[in-house]
Amino acid sequence: MHEDMIRVEHLSKIFTTGFIGLGKRIVAVNDVSFNCKSGEVIGLIGESGSGKTTTARLILKLLAPTSGEIYFRGKSIWTMPNREYYRCVQGVFQDPYSSINPVYRVKHLFNNTSNLFREVPKNEASHRVKEVLELVHLKPEEVLEKHIDELSGGELQRILLANCLFVDPNVILTDEPTSMIDASMRVIVLNLIKELSEKHRKLIVFITHDISQAFYICDRMIVMYQGLIVEQGSAEDVVLNPQHPYTKRLISDVPKLKQKFKLSMED
């Protein structure tokens, strides 16, 4: 049964700058509505300024909306206590080097996350930590005692995915999880994300500016531009048969391997 895991209704977020809001007004998210079901990978695509990251932060309760509602399984997320909500919804962010506190070792990350599971005894929790690290093909004894400068971007990003799995949420929002990783490791991380949805039935919201990566792993795609949704549909429909001029331009401007740009200044 594919239920509506996350439902966003008429969500808006307006930022004001200046002293007591007398400065500029930025409409980051403009009356956005969409829904996502469990077990799918849904892509939220847009370039900088599109509002995709703000939308993600709103869903993660890191920001409060100006208007609109977000529902998790029918319940408004703002009525749910944080510790309950975060056992169901988690996030993985862009910069793996910034996502773990550089002052501490990697195990500190998992210690923090166990705050959500205070009722679980400590040795059970450490056992679970080792399990999830192995799930992302990492050796616990090789990473837990290290600091972030001793590990590569790919390893760190996998540790963050493992941290997500430790919580075992229903929904994972990943914000540009591969933009700071090399091409060869990127595919491995993308495959891992796809596996989370297929094998573990999680809803993955994949937020990116890179429509090609989204095309590889997403079932459905939502294209945003300047705070608005301009197009949504299945991945094939959106990429192979785009309707909105912005989407069309976006796809045609992406460099491809099989065909070259028509260079307008060709002699």
State the residues that interact with other proteins by CB under 8 A: 47-48, 60, 62, 82-83, 86, 90-91, 93-95, 98-104, 109, 112-113, 115-116, 137, 152, 154, 160, 163, 182-191, 209-213, 215-216, 235-236, 239-240, 249-251, 253-258, 260-261, 263-267
Tabulate helix, strand, coil % of the chain (nearest 5): 40, 25, 35
* Nearest CA among 95, 72, 96, 93 for reference residue 82: 72
Q: How far is the CB of 210 from other proteins (least distance, A)?
A: 8
Q: How far is CA 193 from CA 122, 135, 164, 203, in A?
A: 28, 12, 11, 10
Cα–Cα dist 101/61, whole Å: 21
Q: How far is the CB of 1 from other proteins (least distance, A)?
A: 26
Q: How far is CA 173 from CA 41, 69, 93, 205, 231, in A?
A: 10, 18, 8, 5, 20
Q: Are 175 and 207 in contact (CB under 8 A)?
A: yes
Q: Toward other proteins, which CB reaches closer, 32 or 175?
A: 175
182: Cα separation from own chain's centroid? 18
Q: How far is the CB of 221 from other proteins (least distance, A)?
A: 10
* Nearest CA among 72, 51, 50 for reference residue 61: 72
Q: How far is the CB of 32 from other proteins (least distance, A)?
A: 20
Q: Are 36 and 6 in contact (CB under 8 A)?
A: yes
Q: Are 106 and 146 in contact (CB under 8 A)?
A: yes
Q: How far is the CB of 213 from other proteins (least distance, A)?
A: 5
Q: Toward other proteins, which CB reaches closer, 33 or 142?
A: 142
Helix (H, G, I), strand (E, B), or coil: what is residue 33?
strand
Q: How far is the CB of 2 from other proteins (least distance, A)?
A: 21
How many helical (H) and strand (E) elements, i.e. helices and strands, does the chain have?
Answer: 10, 10
Q: Toward other proteins, which CB reaches closer, 123 or 184?
A: 184
Q: Toward other proteins, which CB reaches closer, 120 or 254?
A: 254
Q: Toward other proteins, which CB reaches closer, 31 or 195?
A: 195
Q: Toward other proteins, which CB reaches closer, 31 or 228?
A: 228
Q: Toward other proteins, which CB reaches closer, 119 or 267?
A: 267
